[in-house]
Amino acid sequence: MPQDAYSKPIPAPSPETARYWEGCRAHELWLPFCRDCGRFFFYPRRFCPQCFGWDVEWRRVSGRGKVYSYAIQYRAFHPGWSQETPYVTALVELDEGPRLYTNLVGVDPDPNNIRCDMPVEVVFEDISEEISLPKFRPAVSG
Ligand SMILES: [Zn+2]
């Protein structure tokens, strides 16, 4: 998609999130992992929000998870989405634990087609040279 066609707000990487966006650009999901308590966390920050440890490293995660909650958006909160309603926002709980606020794609925006705990997997939408957005679609079984 040409950059000038993208009319939605584009995330701006910070020092804390640069590695995350670098992974997304490669179509890989990388999250901060705390070596003190052995758990992933999100959003990225320099210390672990679970144990306040500072021994944090980046690890690639599976990109698989399940729908924790979702909402079907019939009204756009920003003009960039006005042509896309209805669309689905969701909180996805990754197999590794953290929850990401994201969009569900590849599914009809109908409550009959979406349920909590539905297995999903990450897909990436390239919106600029630097930024690819992680979104989730129903997992292909098997
Ligand atoms: Zn920790």
CA of 57 to the centre of ligand 1 (A): 11
C-alpha 35 to ligand 1 mean position (Å): 7
pLDDT band, very low/low/confident/very high, at 70 (cuts 50, 70, 90): very high
pLDDT, tens only, 78-126:
888 888 899 999 999 999 999 999 999 999 999 999 999 999 999 999 9
pLDDT digits (tens, 9 = 90+) for 16-40: 999 999 999 999 999 999 999 999 9
Amino acid in the structure at residue 77: F
pLDDT at 141: 63
Gap from CA of 55 to ligand 1 centroid (Å):
8
Centre of ligand 1 to C-alpha 45, Å, is: 12
Helices (H) and strands (E) in the chain, counts: 1, 8
- CA-nearest of 123, 108, 128, 114 to 10 is 128
pTM: 0.90
Query: How remote is the CA of residue 51 from the centroid of ligand 1, in Å?
Result: 4
Interacting residues of 38 by C-beta distance below 8 A, sequence separation 6+: none
CA of 115 from ligand 1 middle (Å) equals 31
How far from the centroid of its chain's Cα atoms is residue 90's Cα? 9
- Checking if the pLDDT of 71 tops 90, the result is yes
**23 Cα: distance to centroid of ligand 1 (angstroms):** 22
Phi, psi for residue 84 in degrees, rounded to 5: -115, -5
Which of 9-18, 51-60, 85-94 has the weakest average pLDDT? 9-18
Q: Output the CA 58–ligand 1 centroid distance in Å.
A: 13
Check residue 7 and give its pLDDT.
Answer: 85
- The rounded Å distance from CA 43 to ligand 1 centre is 13
DSSP string for residues in 71-139 = EEESS-SSGGGTTT-SEEEEEEEETTS-EEEEEE-SS-SSTTT--TT-EEEEEEEE-SSS-EEEEEEEP
1 pLDDT above the threshold of 70: no
How far away, in angstroms, is 22 Cα from ligand 1 center?
A: 23
